[in-house]
Amino acid sequence: MSRFKRIIKFVGLILLVVGINLAPMILIGNQDKTPIALQWVFGILYLILAFLIIRKVWKTYLKKEDYKITGRPFDWKDFGIAGLFFLAARLVAILGTLLLQKITGNPMSANDAALQASASDLKNMFPLYFVAFHVMIGFFAPVLEEVTFRGFFSRYFFKKDNKWAKCLVSSLIFALLHAVMPIEIIMYFALGIVFFIAFNREENIRDSILVHMMNNGLLVIISVFNYILLLLGVI
């Protein structure tokens, strides 16, 4: 495959990442203008289409990988190591947030703020959009982003032993697509490095996907917990 075709395919994957990640937020932002029946249609279509797209991308990626790596089952040791990488990711997030607060006064990154719904947002959110939004955060985004930035990117543009270049460049692209303000690049760059090291441990994309899911899953758990409290009338 020529370098030009690899670039085109990688740009296409980035557009898929952006589209699938933004779609639920666009739906939520326009729900007041959308009839209930169409909200059900749009929510179901999003979940089905996003799942099918990610399934296709996943199968395509697996064809390029050694089954001895990707087909190896996870054991407790792998989950334990993933837990350590998750703690590293949280440490990066905490330090990054403190740095952001000190420099800009913002309590969190613009990306995290967009992903965290307030009590009033949750109360007014269409239930299926709530599901789609959190499935995107906890499942769709981790899988597609890891396959794109740690998986395909490494395979398309670097030799197998060129680990540092893969780590630094892929983490920078990952950061640029998540950061809104320049200072946020530092935090997301460091987070990208954590995900890459998790992937590079055995070159199994499932490792970084699991760490990414654990990292995003914390946000999902907090949001769902708040939603349940809201339904119970506690908040």
Tens digits of per-residue pLDDT, 1-26? 677 888 888 889 999 999 999 999 99
Whole-structure pTM value: 0.90
Which residues are CB-contacts of 162 (< 8 A; sequence separation ≥ 6)? none
Tell me if residue 99 falls in helix, strand or coil: helix
Domain residue extents for the chain: 3-231
Q: Which residues of 168-194 are buried (b: 16+ CB within 10 A; e: fewer)?
A: ebbbebbbebbbeeebbbbbbbbbbbb
Task: Note the pLDDT tens digit of each residue in 37-91.
Answer: 999 999 999 999 999 999 999 999 988 776 656 667 778 888 999 999 999 999 9
Is the pLDDT reported for residue 174 higher than 90? yes
Contact present, 6 and 152 (Cβ < 8 Å): no
Tell me if residue 193 falls in helix, strand or coil: helix
**pLDDT score for 103:** 83
